[in-house]
């Protein structure tokens, strides 16, 4: 069997369209790779081999007849376990939904299927997308392909690890406060958080509705651009969907170095030395090419973690109230009393981190505390959005490390929720402001662990992010994806 699993997205797309190999040959190679290596990574909660091979066979037949659905027909894509696929379990890695089969497709899934993508669900995640390490899954801990004693990031850790381990060339994740970008950084791949409202949230099980956004992960920039172009655009079923057309890849153009203004941050004590070194080395290279570097004041954004966690947990408290064993969720009815039904169902169905966030959110929304916490957090969110508007009046793009550290050890931060929350210190403000950002790999630390760069642009300017990422892709990325996982 050809080792087609080694190919990056762009090579897969080219090979399928040139007839170098068939979708079935590609999928069989990936299936063999998953069967050989996923016992070490645990990227997938489950995957239905027969249905995947059936979809590959159908795609192969369409291409044989000269009737592919699109240039993407036959490309496999991993799917996070909180994105609904019709008649497929969507558990959000939670016991409370362990047998829930969605009766419908998410809009993003409908769009992918219409183009012929082959779905490979269900990528593991932090339960209900609440976490930064994929250690909060109710079922298993996903490992980092670069070092299986370490975490892959979260909450889209399963999707990121699946791409990094060459199980799939691209995958869908969801990003509430960094849950696509942070695992992309720790796994040495690309990960995009689009402008809020450009990708429909219909069929994405909600954590925090004003922050959540579906985004793609890929081994290369072309996979990000193509998947985003397919899943973006207005959706009448999502009230928060922007009235814009799907993204046009022809809008991606390289930016002139000498006219480019880059916003940079001052390195703080939270940033690991190896991460800081890679970041500053890249900035020096940009400056040598003629880009103008502008140091920005991020002092206001240092408050983004408490602002984010008040707003996110408040919305989570509201969104997860439907999982009560009556409307949704596994029903636990110990003695027929309504109150006991709620308590037992939710106590047994939700994990500790989800319970912690529900309690925090309920507290901040309760009488006497609403104005002191949630109301003030919403006002502060407006200030953060205005701060970004001020930044982008001075610069074209903002560059920061995606994560202050490289991948940490499994279990290292589980006993200290505050330290775990700080893993998102550089990503949460982007969600609060609703602007787009993408993590790109820029090297490794002294242990060989990947380091990511976060590129942030004004709202609806994903084309600037993509253009810049293409400009630096040949020399910035020094991350070798592992072939044999130890």
Question: Are the beta carbons of 116 and 69 closer than 8 angstroms?
Answer: yes
Please give the full DSSP string across 119-160, using - where no structure is assigned: EEEEE--SGGG--SSS---SS----BTTBTTB---SSSHHHH
The candidate with the shortest Cα–Cα distance to 361, out of 418, 421, 316, 424, is 316
C-alpha 454/C-alpha 475 separation (Å) is 16
> Given 8, 13, 42, 80, which residue is catalytic?
80
Q: Is 179 a catalytic residue?
A: yes
Number of H helices, E strands in the chain: 15, 10
C-alpha 107/C-alpha 482 separation (Å) is 33
| pTM metric for this prediction | 0.96
The count of other CB atoms within 10 Å of the CB of residue 256 is 10
Q: Is 413 a catalytic residue?
A: no
Kindly report, residue by residue over 123-177, the tens digit of the pLDDT.
Answer: 999 999 999 999 999 999 999 999 999 999 999 999 999 999 999 999 999 999 9
Place of tokens 């690309």: 190
The count of other CB atoms within 10 Å of the CB of residue 110 is 17
**Residue 460's Cα: distance from chain center in Å?**
18
Kindly report, residue by residue over 169-211, the tens digit of the pLDDT.
Answer: 999 999 999 999 999 999 999 999 999 999 999 999 999 999 9
Kindly report, residue by residue over 29-79, the tens digit of the pLDDT.
Answer: 999 999 999 999 999 999 899 999 999 999 999 999 999 999 999 999 999
- Provide the β-strand partners of residue 437: 193, 456
State phi, psi for 71 to the nearest 5 degrees.
Answer: -70, -10
Q: What does DSSP say about strands 118-123 and 170-175: parallel, antiparallel, or unpaired? A: unpaired
> Given 29, 155, 218, 364, which residue is catalytic?
155
Angle between helix axes 352-365 and 304-319 (nearest 10 degrees) is: 100
Q: Is 64 a catalytic residue?
A: no
> Given 91, 94, 179, 218, which residue is catalytic?
179
The candidate with the shortest Cα–Cα distance to 2, out of 222, 11, 61, is 11
């Amino acid at each position: 069997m050809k080792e087609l699993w080694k190919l990056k997205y762009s090579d897969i797309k080219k090979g399928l369209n040139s007839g170098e190999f068939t979708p079935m040959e590609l999928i069989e190679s990936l299936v063999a790779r998953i069967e050989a290596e996923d016992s070490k990574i645990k990227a997938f909660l489950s995957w239905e081999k027969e249905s995947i091979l059936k979809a590959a066979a159908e795609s192969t037949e369409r291409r044989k007849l000269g009737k592919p659905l699109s240039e993407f027909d036959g490309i496999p894509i991993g799917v996070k376990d909180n994105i609904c696929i019709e008649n497929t379990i969507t558990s959000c890695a939670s016991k409370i939904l362990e047998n829930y089969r969605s009766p419908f497709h998410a809009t993003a899934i409908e769009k992918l299927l219409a183009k012929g993508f082959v779905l490979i669900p269900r990528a593991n995640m932090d339960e209900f997308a609440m976490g930064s390490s994929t250690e909060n899954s109710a079922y298993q801990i996903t490992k980092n392909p670069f070092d299986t004693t370490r975490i892959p990031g979260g909450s889209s850790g399963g999707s990121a690890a699946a791409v990094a381990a060459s199980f799939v060339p691209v995958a869908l994740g969801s990003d509430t406060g960094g849950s696509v970008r942070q695992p992309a950084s720790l796994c040495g791949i690309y990960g995009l958080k689009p402008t809020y409202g450009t990708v429909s949230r219909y069929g994405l099980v909600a954590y925090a509705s004003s922050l959540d956004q579906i985004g793609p992960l890929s081994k290369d920039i072309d996979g990000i651009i193509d998947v985003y172009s397919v899943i973006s655009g207005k959706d009448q079923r999502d009230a928060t969907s922007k009235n814009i057309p799907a993204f046009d890849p022809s809008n991606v153009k390289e930016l002139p170095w000498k006219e480019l203004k880059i916003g940079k941050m001052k390195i703080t004590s939270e940033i690991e030395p190896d991460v800081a070194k890679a970041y500053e080395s890249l900035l020096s290279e940009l400056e040598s090419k003629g880009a103008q570097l502008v140091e920005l004041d991020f002092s206001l954004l240092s408050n983004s973690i408490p602002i984010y966690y008040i707003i996110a947990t408040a919305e989570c408290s509201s969104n997860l109230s439907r999982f009560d064993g009556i409307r949704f969720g596994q029903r636990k009815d110990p003695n027929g009393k309504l109150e006991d039904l709620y308590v037992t169902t939710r106590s047994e169905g939700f994990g500790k981190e989800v319970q912690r966030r529900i309690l925090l959110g309920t507290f901040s929304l309760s009488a006497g505390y609403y104005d002191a916490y949630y109301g003030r957090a919403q006002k502060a969110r407006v200030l953060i959005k205005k701060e970004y508007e001020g930044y982008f009046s001075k610069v074209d793009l903002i560059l920061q490390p995606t994560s202050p550290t490289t991948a940490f050890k499994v279990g290292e931060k589980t006993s200290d929720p505050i330290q775990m929350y700080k893993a998102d210190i550089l990503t949460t403000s982007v969600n609060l402001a609703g602007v787009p950002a993408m993590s790109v790999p820029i090297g490794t630390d002294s242990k060989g662990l990947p380091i990511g760069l976060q590129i942030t642009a004004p709202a609806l300017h994903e084309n600037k992010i993509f253009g810049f990422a293409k400009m630096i892709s040949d020399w910035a990325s020094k991350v070798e994806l592992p072939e044999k996982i130890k």
